[in-house]
Structure 1
């Protein structure tokens, strides 16, 4: 049996700020338990809900040296088995207390340097020697670096392979060399341009990408994009150099959690067989709940997103009056940068009968919107994988997306002549091109309802569950440990 260890900063159901948590919480359950013993290490944040914390078992504790710190630092290990997977929680109240998992960048750098070293130091203590350590994003970026340097002389750590998965290349864990060298105690030779140094600073993710045995990212298109300067965030040269140890494996979604047949959040459950009569009841229910006109003939566009630059919201701002004509209702669910929160609030104020801006995140409301909307709009500037479009397809809501990253890989553009496709796409980062495609989608919706419903049916019958992706990861683990 192969032993696999996931190392990450968040994981559902314990702690979540984004899609990373969904991956780390769902993927381990998809592997064949007779062939793979998959375990997960995350920090023991005090903001993890008490319903889980109360079930944690104390394993042990010890003290660990860390760079310039005079006193060894406390390392506690807690444990919980949840849905068949063993989770370890690294306890240190100084680093992991507070109401949120992340804080200031300087402090986050320090705590995830600590976390990366601890993730290795606990392994002999818990008597678990993984064949593969699967690290996620910059917060675990120093795990391969510690493994191949400070831990390399310990026979316990020999022959362990490391995979580094990039969920979003924009976030890299960058700080000055002196500070990171001091915090970690890593040797001088690591801080050179071919290793951790990055434009005279130190870069934690870069270290992980240099020292990992293999690199994955979360869609095939994004794996190609990040090797180009526009998407490469300064690391495109390194990623081109490691091209032969780099691939994209699509994220999936949990088909148990996102299932319109039995989703308890919905006003009316439905399936690919009966959505033509039943899905509309969700639109009526949400219109009523949000104070919009209850009208089956309105074209409801949903936006479920972090409200940030990455998501293409400046394009929406540019053509908002063109999007929200008298036949459209636009419903937004999400939080983010104040300029975009205020933008949607402003449009709700001046077009209250057409725009509903829900500037908070509610899982319940998001599920309701996936079921109620006719289309989901995702005009992202870049999108490593994207999960919202997969959920939209599952709920029979037609995605309108820009052709980038995982959006390009998962949404097949509608072809009215061949009667194929699962959504609508546009190529350039251009507001007028986006508006043209939205208007095209509206025309198909209003004038060719049969073709629209056939598109919904194709979308609902696509399979973006985790099982397909898990098989690709299994093949990669086997390849590395042959």
Structure 2
């Protein structure tokens, strides 16, 4: 069994902006149950300082060099289940209103990564493997291998780098290389970290890690092409024999309709039909939709961005409004999509509800009360929402891309198989045709719909299989 340190920009149960937090919250627990020693380190953000600081243990204090100045670092920790979580504190860098999106993000996360590397020395903690997630930790393998190569304690560590989304790469100006990262400029000249006239944290992670993973088998193949590679496909093809696609899971204890404290009526595979009906009526009342247990209720819980495919819906608004459905949308994102959904709600009161922002509690009730869950993504490395929806007996409606293709099997009316609905082309006509097809099954083929619902709830969406695959990967590295 391996000793593993996971490094990430966010993690549940402390802070979340996207699916990365779900993974770093639940995968370590699944690995710990398989016998690995797992620790996690993230920045100590404002929300964590406000909600959790009194429960944290102070571990150590030291400095790292940023912009040619010694900058203090304080490390705190706490246990969640079988996993120790470390927090890197710097109030100026991390105690802000949001996690990312600042002009000094490069400097902030250079500091974070330097602090993590020195934390090992300060705590005399030497894991077998450092597992880095996304751009926020992508420079760690490079910095260790380029600046700590004479230290056998660091030399013994193996590195795994996981890509959660190729679209967010951590690209910054070249001046950071020396001033913030403490790396020689020849790494820019030889191309190891150079990207688009600057440096790329993600490119560095791909090149310097011993193994590279991404969050579904299909996405691991898609990103080798120009369509999905985001200008790093050539680099990924260099590492394709070290590239693993491992689909995400969800925490099936937190996401459990039989015990979920956020939903009014609990259910399992035995009583799903009657209890989902009650949850639907309660959700319709909560959101101001017409209370009708027989109408097909379509749910959306998502960031409202171009990636998620909502511009396809914009092309079919008349057909969408004419469909025999209700629509419950929870999310925020790009202003044109938000504004269009507001207009849709105003023109279709009782049929369409748009809840702006994010509400974790309401998300659970949408999963429990909806019949169909909409994810028409342009690309989707893995996707968490379709896994949650299946867990709650709500059929996913997806485009066949990335992890959506790997986890959702389209309804086959001849074989009487499937656990959801899907369309292949990124085309609004295909989307609306498939939506109307789902409506036809819902209203006219009740036995088939019940079969799909049972199959969805029987789908293994836990971390068990994926944790086993990660264990194989770790053990392969440790035995080298």
Instruction: Using structure 2 for the length normalisation, give the TM-score.
Output: 0.98
Q: CA deviation at 1:182?
A: 2.5
Q: CA deviation at 1:65?
A: 2.1
Q: Work out which of the residue numbers 205, 213, 216 in structure 1 matches 2:213.
A: 216
Correspondence 1:177 to 2:147: no
Correspondence 1:439 to 2:461: no
Aligned partners of 1:326 and 1:354 also within 8 Å: no
Aligned partners of 2:323 and 2:436 also within 8 Å: no
Aligned partners of 1:301 and 1:376 also within 8 Å: yes
Q: CA deviation at 1:184?
A: 1.5
Unpaired runs of 5+ residues, structure 1, are: none
Paired position in structure 1 for 2:202? 205
In the alignment, the residues of structure 2 paired with residue 99 and residue 430 of structure 1 have an alpha-carbon distance, to the nearest angstrom, of: 37
Aligned partners of 1:4 and 1:134 also within 8 Å: yes
Paired position in structure 2 for 1:229? 226
Secondary structure of the equivalent of 1:335? strand
In the alignment, the residues of structure 1 paired with residue 188 and residue 432 of structure 2 have an alpha-carbon distance, to the nearest angstrom, of: 48
Number of matched pairs: 479
Secondary structure of the equivalent of 1:48? helix
Correspondence 1:76 to 2:74: yes
Aligned partners of 1:80 and 1:88 also within 8 Å: yes
Q: CA deviation at 1:326?
A: 5.8
In the alignment, the residues of structure 1 paired with residue 294 and residue 61 of structure 2 have an alpha-carbon distance, to the nearest angstrom, of: 62
> 1:34/1:380 Cα in 2 relative to 1: closer, same or farther (>3 Å)?
closer
Q: CA deviation at 1:429?
A: 0.4
> 1:64/1:179 Cα in 2 relative to 1: closer, same or farther (>3 Å)?
closer
Aligned partners of 1:14 and 1:49 also within 8 Å: no
Aligned-pair RMSD on alpha carbons?
1.3
Correspondence 1:39 to 2:39: yes
Aligned partners of 2:177 and 2:185 also within 8 Å: no
Aligned partners of 2:161 and 2:211 also within 8 Å: yes
Paired position in structure 1 for 2:278? 281
In the alignment, the residues of structure 1 paired with residue 287 and residue 94 of structure 2 have an alpha-carbon distance, to the nearest angstrom, of: 38
State how 1:389-400 maps to structure 2 within 5 Å: 389-400=386-397
Q: Work out which of the residue numbers 94, 105, 113 in structure 2 matches 1:116.
A: 113
- Which range moved further: 317-326 or 265-274? 317-326
State how 1:148-187 maps to structure 2 within 5 Å: 148-187=145-184
In the alignment, the residues of structure 2 paired with residue 18 and residue 382 of structure 1 have an alpha-carbon distance, to the nearest angstrom, of: 15
Q: CA deviation at 1:193?
A: 5.6
Paired position in structure 1 for 2:57? 57
Paired position in structure 2 for 1:299? 296
In the alignment, the residues of structure 1 paired with residue 197 and residue 54 of structure 2 have an alpha-carbon distance, to the nearest angstrom, of: 45
Unpaired runs of 5+ residues, structure 2, are: none
Q: CA deviation at 1:299?
A: 1.1
Aligned partners of 1:130 and 1:160 also within 8 Å: yes
Secondary structure of the equivalent of 2:191? coil
Aligned partners of 1:75 and 1:91 also within 8 Å: yes
Aligned partners of 1:10 and 1:24 also within 8 Å: yes
Q: CA deviation at 1:230?
A: 0.5
Q: Work out which of the residue numbers 348, 355, 358 in structure 1 matches 2:355.
A: 358
Paired position in structure 2 for 1:241? 238
Secondary structure of the equivalent of 1:31? helix
> 1:49/1:358 Cα in 2 relative to 1: closer, same or farther (>3 Å)?
farther
Paired position in structure 1 for 2:324? 327
Aligned partners of 2:302 and 2:332 also within 8 Å: yes
In the alignment, the residues of structure 1 paired with residue 336 and residue 208 of structure 2 have an alpha-carbon distance, to the nearest angstrom, of: 39
Correspondence 1:11 to 2:11: yes
Aligned partners of 1:47 and 1:101 also within 8 Å: no
- Which range moved further: 318-327 or 136-145? 318-327
Correspondence 1:28 to 2:28: yes
Q: Work out which of the residue numbers 133, 141, 152 in structure 2 matches 1:144.
A: 141
Q: CA deviation at 1:328?
A: 1.1
- Which range moved further: 293-302 or 248-257? 293-302
In the alignment, the residues of structure 1 paired with residue 200 and residue 64 of structure 2 have an alpha-carbon distance, to the nearest angstrom, of: 23
Aligned partners of 1:324 and 1:330 also within 8 Å: no
In the alignment, the residues of structure 2 paired with residue 382 and residue 208 of structure 1 have an alpha-carbon distance, to the nearest angstrom, of: 22
In the alignment, the residues of structure 2 paired with residue 261 and residue 12 of structure 1 have an alpha-carbon distance, to the nearest angstrom, of: 22
